[in-house]
Structure 1
């Protein structure tokens, strides 16, 4: 838990504008509560919707939250907490847009989240291979389809973990989606 507290302390939450329009200080408190296992029944990535992420854009606190989530996952939280953290991380690494205020400052929040989350590629691989729960393994695998540039390694991971991954991951739908998306980005850019 000390890792999480240290990572939260490194961030300037009061200086960040939350998606709700207030300071992001309340995000730090909520992250502490969730990572301590205090959100067993209700907390999901939806709790952070319109604060850190939305279906359309990510908000300024998103990269900081990404760093905290990695620290929390490294601290080996309880299985139900672990899945909630992975669910939120997945929302951040698959984000597609940046809120207007952050965009005016030249920030690409989805890219910043993916860069920070990429530091945890090994952690995510271990999560898939641990077979602690199909939900957590599936979420970790889907995150890896966005982050891991080693496509052969990802295919090997999918084959190794096929017995416990969700159908979309086992069949390659997650992986194929990412490759199609990447090819589209390269063709457009």
Structure 2
């Protein structure tokens, strides 16, 4: 749960499952990939709310925080969990789906941080993403040649699950 003085954010555009996934993380206790103090991560939670509401630019705003210069950062697993909750909710707009798939591909295309904690950042991110494989396979097959299909196919290839 976020530990801030401000009221929890709500939106009729954000499904309850996504709101619960965002609220489940104590964002201020996670070191950010941008090097700023940990308390700044409430901004990341707000960015994820914007993404869940369907703002495509919010997904690109994760760069520098969840991943930076091709390396995963500590917020990556929590961000992956939220992104997969958004994916499971089925964003209605094509641009939102493409931006979401781009963010997932960017997370999986980044290097692990080299930590031995649990499965490492990469393993934790991949576990969240694997939970929605049927939807990713469907996206890859739905419109061959589309941006969404290319991103989804790239995700499946990075996970070695294209068969």
Please, what TM-score do these two structures have when normalized by structure 2? 0.78
Name the residue aligned to 2:46. 29
Contact 1:92–1:113 (CA under 8 A) maintained in structure 2: yes
Q: 1:102-140: CA deviations, max 9, x gaps?
A: x37576211221122111111101112232981111101
- Stretches of structure 1 that go unaligned for 5 or more consecutive residues are 156-189
**Per-residue CA distance 1:17-41 (angstroms, 9 max, x = gap):** 111223222111101112202x24x
Tell me how far 1:71 sits from its aligned partner. 0.9
Q: Provide the aligned C-alpha RMSD in A.
A: 2.2
Higher helix share: 1
What does residue 71 of structure 1 align with? 85
Distance 1:44 1:116, change over 3 A: closer
Give the alignment's TM-score, normalised by structure 1.
0.68
Structure 1 CA distance for aligned equivalents of residues 87 and 119 of structure 2 = 26
Q: Which residue of 1 aligns with 2:4?
A: none
Query: Counterparts of 1:12 and 1:27 in 2: how far apart (Å)?
Result: 11
- Contact in 1 for aligned 2:47/2:62 (Cα 8 Å): no
Number of corresponding residues: 145
Query: Which structure carries more relative contact order (alpha carbon 8 Å, separation 6+)?
Result: 2
1:88 aligned to which of 75, 98, 103:
103
